Structure 1
Amino acid sequence: MASATHTLLLLLLLLLLLLLLLLVLLPLATLAQAQGHIGLGSSLTADDRNSSWKSPSGDFAFGFKRIGNGVFLLAIWFNKIPEKTIIWSANRDNSAPQGSKVELTREGHLVLNYPGVGEIWAQPATSTRASYAFMLDTGNFVLANGAGSNLWESFGEPTDTIVPTQVLNHGTEVISRYSAMNYSRGRFRLLLQLDGNLCMHTRPFYDWAYWYSATVGTGYQVIFNQTSQIYLAARNGSLAYDIMSGTFSSMDLYQRAVLEYDGVFRQYVYPRNASLRLEWPRGWTLVPSPIPLNICTNMSQSIGPGVCGWNSYCILGDDQRPRCKCPPGYSYIDPSNRMNGCKSDFLPESCDEGTAETDLFTLQDMPNANWGLSDYERYEKQDENFCRQ
């Protein structure tokens, strides 16, 4: 009898413990769902409250990110690091003024409205209607129907950045920002062409690529996996081209690859937890082997503004980043953005054939400088004295 009573008490105790465990886990599950799931009628406003829709883990957030005085971007960013680095934005060429609103309407569309203007941007673009939205822990923001099928996703329309689990299909392009502080579309593009070749161009000079994978007929998808490898896959899943060979786990490190405003595609990692951050440099760490390794020498087309804009030249700094310079007699068009080219500081010479203006010209030495493919007149087997005459 005592044994049966003891057994019954143990069973009751186990049931009580299970009940307590369920009571603890249920709010956590509800919170995770609430943080990732966005229902119809939900909205956010661009203001000082900095409200956002977070992924279940809180790693990523979707909302209005302030980028200047009274200026915002509807964006997705890394939410748990001080830098709040942006990985995607909507309507990037026209920043959102304070008071702008994004709403998942009752009709199932994600709509961005600017005050005094109205609707600026909306998804899905078709007549299909979403039943809900979800901010995923991968950094992907999706609109889904009642069956759970994605109608639209931010991963399908990248800006200048890709992150692990993201895939680029044929025709998908990544466009750099304009400058370090300007998120508008810039001068450089990474495109997986319909022929399977992955190419990097200067916009809008698309006939010439300053880097390409040489995978015509084989390239099918660009894949960024969770071990930080970025590669071009063939249609059968095999490796067509190894873009960046990573060895980092996304469990320990945040990762991103970005086509930066200088035209170079770079990969970065950032420790997820505080203990790892003690072993790593502060902020984002550059992974070796950016593409291209030296954009100053890669950019040798005969048309277009090159890396640094018109009337300029490029040198690679000790940090392996391009430095834009103006030749003597020229100055920066925009000193705050030295990649925007240079302007002449002298009056243009006359085109009158009867006027001799040789006294207006000087020949100045610039060792190791070369304006490749830009010669408009060529003399062979001549010395320096001939050029100075």
Structure 2
Amino acid sequence: MANRDDPVDGTGSQLSISKDGKLRLTNSAGITVWATRTAPSTTLESWKLQLQLQNTGNLVLNHSQNGVVWQSFDSPTDTLLPQQMLTRTSTLVSKLSKVDYSSGYYKLFFDNDNVLRLLYQGPVVSSLYWPDPELSDPGLAGRSMYNSSRAAVLNELGYLWSSDHLEILATDFGVKTHRRLTLDRDGNLRLYSLEAMNEGWDWVVTWQAVSDPCTIHGICGPNSFCSYDHASGRRCSCLQGFKIKDPTDWSFGCEAEFNIPCNQSHGKLSSFVQLSHFHFYGYDLEFLPNVTLQHCENKCLRACSCKGFQFVFKADYGGYLCYPKYELYNGQLTPNFEGDLYLRVPKAGFVYNKTLDAAESLLNCTAELSRKVRGTYENKTVKLLLWFVTAVGGLEVTCIFLVFLSLFMSSKNSDPVAEGHLLMSRFKRFKFSELKKATRGFVEVIGRGGGGVVYKGMLPDKRVAAIKRLDEAHQGEAEFLTEVNTIGRLNHMNLIDIWGFCAEGKHRLLVYEYMENGSLAEKLTSNELDWKKRFDIAVGTAKGLAYLHEECLEWVLHCDVKPHNILLDFNFQPKVADFGLSKLLNRGERDHSSFSKMRGTRGYMAPEWVYNRPITSKVDVYSYGIVVLEMVTGKSPTGTQHSSGGRGAKEHNSLDTLVRHADGREASRESWNIEEIVDPSMGGRYDSAKMELLLKVAWQCVAEDKDDRPTMTQVVEMLRCDEVN
């Protein structure tokens, strides 16, 4: 499906082969909403092209001289057909519902460990669930991480092979029939065969990845649990004390009808209710082996963020295991599970069954009165009715008064920013006092920019975090919600991970994972980056940006790609950060997005900003090219030089001159001496071929015309192609 998340209207839309040799989909206004990709330098005559639908189901655009220009098999949606290859650059994404074919919450792809996996990427959180995540090593599931080819293919006989050693046989293997492998909207991967029935033909399931549908993550959302039996199928239910958040979408889960204040006495205000055979996967504050129930309970009581704990007996460990939970996701009610969940609830004013077994998971609200009580009730019916009418009348007056008072106070004291955010995001919400304590009063500054200062802090659960305090002068509701909700939709190893936020009064803070090696900008001035680290940083950054532009469920423009916003972990792996200036695009806006103001940093901004041209993902490509040139040459586009001395001091070798002479030409081989360009701080110790490749890619990225620049996906392919060779 082309343009599945913003389909064109049914009247006036057109699919055609354009004069530049591309297959284009235009809407009724004549705006291109989708087009096939060809190499930037390739120009094909349209009269030599032919569009053909093959018997395999592949839609192919052929050129009489160059062969296959584009084929639909390279861009699967939620289904693989026989002979169609799933590769490291392609994914399957489920549809949202039975009638809504837009991108859903589930994804089949090859992970960075070369294993074919299923991922839940929902409105709240993301997590892998197949192969079984409780298996620490994919090898225990029969998978291999040691084949980097990343390919999977299905044949007509019902056999699927994957490079990670996964092999699938349909129950009707050997029969030659029509087949399809589909990632269904419920998150299960199924193999279907077309079989003849009494009343025609129908698709029959001949294999599925997950046998128990309740083990699929995200099915029921937070604070709820999934139960399954063959008679009634799968069902979702809220934990007692919680109510469903969105009746139309269980992925949003349930919200609490009670509140436990987070203060010095919070441990004294709460208790626990035992839920037998309830299993909640993940989101552990810590892992405590061989402890008593009392010890586990005390641990949870001391942590304000603890919502309960899992208490399980494991013979392998020779005792009980304790898992305090800061969130309750992926809940299952499984009679065979030998463990209990102890749910944290208010100590007073909360009615709850002391023990809830599997057989008691549904409330029984029809308790039978004893004969004695029933007789007393019947003898006093008239008197009780009179008292009841009087009491209800007084109660109504009181309630009306309290409702009006509550509405007045909430309209007067509500924080619209915080309330709006709670509707849009599901991160952990911190109090300002918590983060002030975590940072010891905001004393250790580790970064600046993007409208705020970043401090190092220690969270209550002992995790080291980067806490960004946004400036009051620059930080309004729109910018805050943009940054929080943009990052909340994303899941990639080369993007920074956000843990929580604070929206309290005038305070706006974001809590990120802490990156041990700081920013790329810092390391470029410290001479700690050899040529290999620089090359790996270029590849990782390109992967992160490619995900933003083309792989995530929404298209995101970063708009401020620079070394300060590329952070490095303990192993110098890059993570793109600071989405304060990002732009979340609808799929139909890809080629004609509009911005209310200029965004970015001087020296890294694409010419489109200056000349008021349409802003697309190519602005990030340009900024990325500048960053790569900066890493290779050691020179900043803002005029500073990261390293001094050496051959690089020649004027014609300045970064500005390199950019002006680039214009899409491979100057590395024609006009420049590589030794005069590369950062002298590396002392001549580098791989010339790798540096030339980086220069070649960077020069294409900084082309004046955006149409001459590659996409970030093409950049990744160019850099990874060198790895393969």
When normalised by structure 2's length, the TM-score is: 0.34
What is the aligned partner in structure 1 of residue 166 from structure 2? Answer: 241
| Shift in alpha-carbon separation, 1:98–1:346, aligned structure 2, 3 A | same
Trace 1:50-61 onto structure 2 (pairs within 5 A).
Answer: none
**Residue from 42, 45, 52 that aligns with 1:134:** 52
SS of 1:116 mapped into structure 2:
coil
Q: Please give the secondary structure, in 2, of the residue aligned with 1:284.
A: strand
Cα 1:153–1:355 change in 2 (3 A) is closer
Tell me if 1:350 matches 2:261: yes
Matching residue of 2:377:
none
Equivalent residue in structure 1 for 2:162, among 218, 228, 232: 232
Q: Deviations over 1:133-174 (max 9, x none)?
A: 111111111111113721111111111111112111233211
Tell me which amino acid in the other structure corresponds to 2:239: P
1:121 to 34, 44, 53: 34
State the partner residue of 1:210: 130
What number of residue pairs does the alignment pair up?
Answer: 280
Q: 1:296 aligns to what SS in structure 2?
A: helix
Following the alignment from structure 2 to structure 1, what is the Cα–Cα distance between the partners of residues 174 and 55?
15
Select the residue among 197, 219, 224 that pairs with 1:277.
197
Shift of residue 250, structure 1, vs aligned partner: 7.0
Matches of 1:136 and 1:319, distance apart in 2: 42
Q: Tell whether 2:335 aligns with 1:335.
A: no
Aligned-partner residue type, residue 277 of structure 1: M
- Bigger proportion of residues as helix: 2
Cα 1:109/1:341, change in 2 over 3 Å: same
| Secondary structure in structure 2 of the residue aligned to 1:256 | strand
Q: TM-score, normalised by structure 1?
A: 0.61
Q: Which residue of 2 aligns with 1:373?
A: 282
Go from structure 1 to structure 2 and tell me whether the alpha carbon gap of 1:124 and 1:117 turns closer, same or farther (over 3 Å shift). same
Structure 1 residues 381 and 248, CA gap change in structure 2 (3 angstroms): closer
What is the CA distance between 1:209 and its match in structure 2?
5.2
The residue that corresponds to 1:3 in the other structure is: none
Q: After superposing the two structures, state which structure 1 stretch, 346-355 or 103-112, moved more.
A: 346-355
Q: Secondary structure at the match of 1:98?
A: coil
**Identity score, percent:** 23
After superposition, the Cα gap between the structure-2 partners of 1:364 and 1:182, relative to the gap in structure 1 and judged at 3 Å, is farther
Change (3 A) 1:207 1:187: closer
Task: State which structure, 1 or 2, has the greater radius of gyration over its C-alpha atoms.
Answer: 2
Question: For residues 263 and 298 of structure 1, do their structure 2 counterparts lie closer, same or farther at Cα, with a shift above 3 Å needed?
Answer: closer
Question: 1:295 offset after TM fit, Å?
Answer: 4.8
Q: Deviations over 1:297-331 (max 9, x none)?
A: 465xxxxxx44322222233427975333222333
- The equivalent residue for 1:95 is 7
Distance 1:178 1:321, change over 3 A: farther
Is 1:315–1:322's contact at 8 Å kept on the other side of the alignment? yes
| 1:1-389 correspondence runs (5 A) | 89-99=1-11, 100-116=13-29, 118-126=31-39, 127-129=42-44, 131-147=49-65, 149-193=67-111, 195-203=113-121, 208=128, 210-211=130-131, 214-218=143-147, 220=149, 221-233=151-163, 240-245=165-170, 247-248=172-173, 251=176, 253-271=177-195, 276-278=196-198, 283-288=202-207, 290-297=208-215, 299=217, 306-318=218-230, 322-338=234-250, 340-344=251-255, 346-353=257-264, 358=269, 366-376=275-285, 380-382=292-294
In structure 1, give the amino acid aligned to 2:162: L
Alpha-carbon distance in 2 for matches of 1:380, 1:348: 27
| Equivalent pair of 1:177/1:260 in contact (CA under 8 Å) | yes
Alignment-mate amino acid for residue 284 of structure 1: W
Distance 1:90 1:246, change over 3 A: farther
Aligned-partner residue type, residue 91 of structure 1? N
Tell me: CA distance 1:321–1:128, structure 2 relative to 1, closer, same or farther (3 Å): farther
Letter matched to residue 218 of structure 1: N
CA contact (8 A) 1:311 1:342 kept: yes
Q: Note the alpha carbon deviations across 1:260-303, whole angstroms, 9 max, x for none.
A: 122211111223xxxx32298x7321114x1122353465xxxx
Q: Against the structure 1 CA distance between its residues 320 and 138, is the aligned structure 2 distance closer, same or farther, given a 3 Å change threshold?
A: farther
Partner-residue secondary structure (3-state), 1:370: strand
What is the CA deviation profile of residues 21-65 of structure 1, one whole-angstrom value per residue up to 9, with x for unaligned ones? xxxxxxxxxxxxxxxxxxxxxxxxxxxxxxxxxxxxxxxxxxxxx
The amino acid across from 1:330 in the alignment is F
Are the counterparts in 1 of residues 107 and 119 from structure 2 also a CA contact under 8 Å?
Answer: yes
- The alpha carbon displacement at 1:226 in A equals 1.0
The letter for the 1-side match of 2:17 is L
Task: For CA contacts below 8 A with separation 6 or more, give which structure has more relative contact order.
Answer: 1
Cα distance, 1:128 vs structure 2? 4.3
Give yes or no for contact 1:349–1:357 (8 Å, CA) kept in 2.
no
Q: Is the 8 A contact 1:163 1:257 kept in 2?
A: yes
Give the SS at the match of 1:96. coil
Deviation of 1:380 (Å) = 2.6
CA distance in 2, matches of 1:152, 1:363: 60
Distance 1:373 1:195 in 2: 20
User: Contact between 1:312 and 1:341, CA under 8 Å: does it hold in 2?
Assistant: no
Contact 2:121–2:127 (CA under 8 A) maintained in structure 1: no
Distance of 1:165 and 1:248 partners within structure 2: 16
8 A Cα contact 1:198 1:219, kept in partner: no
- Please state how far the C-alpha of 1:192 moved relative to its aligned partner: 2.5
Counterpart in the other structure of 2:515: none
Is contact 2:106–2:121 with CA below 8 Å preserved after alignment?
yes
Residue identity in the other structure for 1:350: P
